[in-house]
Amino acid sequence: MTLLRGIHVVAVALALAPELALAHEHEGAHAGAEKFGGVHFPTSCTAGVKPAFERGLAMLHSFAYAQAAEVFQDVAAKDPRCGIAQWGVAMTYFHVIWGPPTDDEFVAGRAAAVVAEYPSARSGSDGATFSSAG
């Protein structure tokens, strides 16, 4: 009986450990120096914003959604024809690992996707990306 109770305690601890580790990782992983890795993603955005866009993409893939959204919004402000930056903003609201988007997140993500799809907000290959996704 004691062995069975011990097995249950270990099983519960193992079941909760990944969730607790993820919660801790999600909360504080990006507080220090940036360690997001490198990304190369060809776009037709201006050369001046490409490094920032790629930094935002690395943040997005590291689950640093709030920081990535700021970077993508800055890229879009500096190069309004860089529609893929609005795609980045939209993607920061889509984080199904933590749960489905809230209604407000869905509305904000959809609004960014609409801006990305609008012809004046896209350029070159970025526009083709949105057209093929629709």
Look at the pTM and tell me if it is higher than 0.75: no
| CA-to-CA dists, residue 65 to 8, 24, 39, 115, 132, angstroms | 36, 16, 16, 19, 25
Structure tokens at 88: 């980045």
Residue 8, phi then psi, degrees to nearest 5: -65, -40
Cα 50 from Cα 56, distance rounded (Å): 10
Please tell me what DSSP assigns to residue 45: S
Q: C-alpha angle 115/119/66, rounded to 5°?
A: 25
- Comparing CA positions, the residue from 67, 89, 87, 75 lying closest to residue 46 is 75
Q: What is the pLDDT along the chain (134 residues), one digit of tens a residue?
A: 565 554 554 444 444 444 433 343 343 444 445 677 888 889 989 999 999 999 999 999 888 999 999 999 999 999 999 999 999 999 898 877 778 888 898 888 888 888 777 655 444 545 444 444 44
